[in-house]
Amino acid sequence: MKHIDKVLIGASVAISIAGIGTAIAGNEEFDKPTISAKTMADALHLVMDSDRTIYTRKIVNRLVKKDKVIKASEHFEDDKALVLPAQMFRFGSELVAKRAEKLADVNFSYSLQSLWPINKQNAPKTDVEKAGLKYIAENKGKNYYAKETLGGKTYFTAIYADTGVAPVCVSCHNKHKDTPKRDFKIGDVMGGVVIRIPMGS
C-alpha cells in the first residue's frame, strides 16, 4: 500500500514537471515574433475601424437617424446624449495608453488626426504625421508607413485614411463652429488614423 502511495506521488510530481516544462516550451514559442510591425499595425487598424464602424452604424445611426430616440453630441454629458464615434475612438485610445503604459511589450499608441481638425490638438505635429496625412489625402486607398524618432525612441508609424462615409459625418464637420473646412463631401478623406509602434530600445 505504501509503495502504491509512493508511486502515485512520484507520478504526480513527474506529470507536474512535464506539464510545467511543456508550458514553458510553449511560452517560448509564443514569444517568437511571427508578424512584422506593419502587419501588426494593419491588424490593429482593422479592429479599430471595424469597432468604430459597428458603433457608428448599429448604435449611433440606428438610434439617432432611424429610431430617432436619442441625440449624439460632442457635449454628451450635458446633453444626455450618445458620444460621437470620433470621441468613442479617442476615449478608447486614452484607455489603451493608460493600460499599455504598464505593458512594455505592447506599448503602442494611436490617434485620430486631420489636416482640417476641429480640435487643433488633433492637427499633425511630427514631420511623418504631416507627410502621411497629406499622402493619404492625395492617394485614395493607400496607406502610409514610415519610421520616426521621437523623444529619443524610434517608432514604426502607420497612417490610414479616415473617409466620410455617412452624410452625418460630413454635415457635422461642415457645420461645426471650429472647423477650418466647410465643404467636405461624402467619400472625401477627412483625416487619418495614426498608429505608432516602438521599434526596439
Partner 1 sequence: MLNERKSKRSRLLWIWIFLSLGLIGWLAFSMFEASDKTIFMPGPMTSGHHQIGIACDACHKDPLPDGEVFQKACTHCHGDDRKKPFDSHPRSKFTDPRNTETLENINAQQCISCHTEHQPDMTSSNGLTQPQDFCIHCHADIADDRPSHKGMEFNTCNSSGCHNFHNNRSIYTDFLVKHLHEPDLLSRQTVPEREFSKILEELTDYPVERFPFRKLTDSDIDSPAEKSLDVVQHKEWLDTAHAGSGVNCSACHEVKQSDSDQVLWIDNPDHTACARCHNLEVERFKRGKHGMRLAVDLPPMKVVDARLPMKKEAGHEELGCNSCHSAHRYDVQEAAVDSCLGCHADEHSLAYKSSPHYRLWQKEMSGDAVAGSGVSCASCHMPRINYDVNDWMSRIMVDHNQNANLSPNEKMIRSTCMHCHGLGYTLNAMGDKELIKNNFNDKPAVEIKSMELAEQDQKRAEQESLQVQEN
Q: Smallest distance, Å, CB 19 to partner 1? A: 38
* Contact between 185 and partner 1 per CB under 8 A: no
Q: Smallest distance, Å, CB 51 to partner 1? A: 19
Residue 129: its H or E element: helix 127-138
Structural Rg of the chain based on CA atoms = 24
- Burial of 111-122, coded b for 16+ CB within 10 Å and e otherwise, reads bbbbbbbbeeeb
Among 61, 87, 126, 163, binds partner 1 (CB under 8 A): 126
- In the complex with partner 1, the residue whose CB is nearer, 64 or 96, is 96
Among 153, 167, 186, 187, binds partner 1 (CB under 8 A): 153
The angle subtended at Cα 103 by Cα 151 and Cα 109, nearest 5°, is 50
Among 29, 31, 138, 178, binds partner 1 (CB under 8 A): 178
Are 109 and 196 within 8 A, CB to CB?
yes
Q: What is the x/- site pattern for partner 1, positions 96-125, by CB under 8 A?
A: -xx--x-------x-x--------x----x
β-bridge partners, 112 = 193
For the chain, what is the total number of helices (H) and then of strands (E)? 5, 4
- In the complex with partner 1, the residue whose CB is nearer, 61 or 179, is 179
Place of cell 468613442: 88
Binding positions for partner 1, 29-58, rule CB under 8 A:
none
Place of cell 490617434: 111
Q: Which residues of the chain form contacts with partner 1 (CB under 8 A)?
A: 74-75, 77-78, 93-95, 97-98, 101, 109, 111, 120, 125-126, 129, 150-151, 153, 155, 174-175, 177-178, 182-183, 194, 196
